[in-house]
Structure 1
């Protein structure tokens, strides 16, 4: 399995049959695709990475002032080994900061422009996601091509939509770090919602599961965003589109093991009250609201 690369520099991508077909093919067979020329300014991405680096360098007691402590809000700091994306394995060797803009969002007051920088990237990710959702509606030949777009109208309002941007920091693992048997930087999992945008550095470690059960290394594609689908979208499309398991390994190379790894993920979710029913009418998966689905999955993670 190779992860396809699609070029969005074609004008109106939502009206381009080639792009729509390529996305449809990718989501049907791999669930992962790189998009280049995606329209998000590289400067916004670079600034977000720099702000994240500054935040995670802060002393732990300072970061804990902004700790995530409520599944209903899902905002704030998550410390190392607080999260188990694969509950059958030891907790993940990563720390995160969750951002869901709205009245409940925890914004750190740390002396650098955290809120402004991350909000700018969040808004840019929202616009790209809506384009992808429209292409998906057309690729699936839905009666209403805007079906998925209309289900994501409240992104950016924590009270109505749980779309979350996560700053992810994988700390260096030195000689004195205790690594438990089976422990990973990020355990095997599928994402929760509808569409994920992932920006990553060049350190590597992300692996994607092939249908044969074998994992393949996801390459680093400069200036591209890696897009994959969440479990809710797979259920919504009655398995027409795939939510593919993935993980982040602890590097075997000692130099990389002792190097910080960074990524930023934008997890798009449908609006909380949206009832997710199989679009083919099969009822293959029981109907559930986007809000209830997320709460069930978060409860298994924390």
Structure 2
């Protein structure tokens, strides 16, 4: 397991057009980096995170039921511990994600109270702005949309998703010696994913990313946001931008206590009408199972959610492609 360095880029520098060469080298060889100087610090992230964690800990069963979304076509509201299984969807096993979640999008949201709604809505809007600026810098460095601002603005008509994901200390049956991962390997169906992670209290580094065929540890770095490039960036850049595979590891026995991990994850996803060539996507290593020559992002996501709602039914085939988990760590 490597701990090779992951570069840190200042968003203010990137917005000025600085460090383009270094950014291109990073997204084309690693597909991830840390972002600093984006407008606020960890205190703001912690405020939004704590509102969610308080609900996880103190919300009643009735309140959680009222905030749970039964519509599998979108992620909204509360998902209880082990309610999701990235392993099943990606055909990498049958173990659950050892986490619970709260999710919001542009519309159709459910919140437990007005304070939660106000804090999360403001946070969502601010992270959205950071994500747009980040994508602008990444696409500029990769030479994508540089000659067509109108097309870029159309592409940036997005449908983002924000998720708080809490990984509690694992029980004995979920330690690394028995179930090595709390979330199975996958890459994101997003343009970019912004991750604000608060590290495990005992120092265990749970997020691992594959770079050049080697797993590297990705620790929490104070006052930065981790940027992971997603499959959509890989498509629009014709493979110039990588979409790295990543997973959340379970701790070994001696680090099980104090291994809880919290992350705020913002998926900048394109509009559902975003269209791409299925054969070209497959050439890039994205094993899209849609049979038509052209597909929309909505169809791709819809296929994913179909698997989410049916993966426990024995007469339904499992997903075969690794990238079909929409929401990651």
Aligned to 1:275: 275
Aligned to 1:94: 99
Of 7, 10, 26 in structure 2, the residue corresponding to residue 7 of structure 1 is 10
Closer/same/farther in 2, CA of residues 21 and 146 from structure 1, 3 Å limit = farther
**Structure 1, unaligned runs of 5 or more:** 156-160
Tell me if structure 2 keeps the 8 A contact 1:208–1:246: yes
Cα offset, 1:48, TM superposition: 0.7
- Cα deviation, 1:8-46, whole Å, max 9, x if unaligned, reads 243xx333232x333222211101100111224543212
Give the root-mean-square deviation of aligned CA atoms: 2.6
The question of 1:246 aligning with 2:221 is answered no
Deviates more, 1:62-71 or 1:88-97: 62-71
Tell me if structure 2 keeps the 8 A contact 1:40–1:124: no
- Cα deviation, 1:70-94, whole Å, max 9, x if unaligned, reads 2323211112222112222211111
- Alpha-carbon distance in 2 for matches of 1:15, 1:117: 30
- Alpha-carbon distance in 2 for matches of 1:167, 1:219: 18
Find the residue that maps to 1:185 and give its secondary structure: strand
The question of 1:211 aligning with 2:212 is answered yes
Aligned to 1:289: 296
- Alpha-carbon distance in 2 for matches of 1:6, 1:14: 11
- Alpha-carbon distance in 2 for matches of 1:269, 1:66: 23
Find the residue that maps to 2:106 and give its secondary structure: coil
Find the residue that maps to 1:64 and give its secondary structure: helix
- Cα deviation, 1:79-127, whole Å, max 9, x if unaligned, reads 222211222221111110111131x112223xx7211111111111111
- Alpha-carbon distance in 2 for matches of 1:54, 1:125: 21
Aligned to 1:158: none
**Structure 2, unaligned runs of 5 or more:** 285-292, 310-329
Find the residue that maps to 1:165 and give its secondary structure: strand
- Cα deviation, 1:233-252, whole Å, max 9, x if unaligned, reads 22232221111011111112
Cα offset, 1:263, TM superposition: 0.6
The question of 1:127 aligning with 2:132 is answered no
- Alpha-carbon distance in 2 for matches of 1:247, 1:297: 18
- Bigger helix share: 2
Closer/same/farther in 2, CA of residues 284 and 62 from structure 1, 3 Å limit = same
Tell me if structure 1 keeps the 8 A contact 2:179–2:250: no
Tell me if structure 2 keeps the 8 A contact 1:137–1:148: no
Tell me if structure 1 keeps the 8 A contact 2:175–2:251: no
- Alpha-carbon distance in 2 for matches of 1:186, 1:124: 27
Find the residue that maps to 2:193 and give its secondary structure: strand
Cα offset, 1:183, TM superposition: 5.5
Structure 2 matches for 1:128-207, cutoff 5 A?
128-141=130-143, 142-144=146-148, 147-153=151-157, 155=158, 161=159, 163-175=160-172, 181-182=178-179, 184-203=181-200, 204-207=205-208
Find the residue that maps to 1:97 and give its secondary structure: strand
Deviates more, 1:73-82 or 1:186-195: 73-82
Tell me if structure 1 keeps the 8 A contact 2:29–2:211: no
- Alpha-carbon distance in 1 for matches of 2:295, 2:254: 45
Aligned to 1:79: 80
Which TM-score applies when normalising by structure 1? 0.84
Which TM-score applies when normalising by structure 2? 0.78
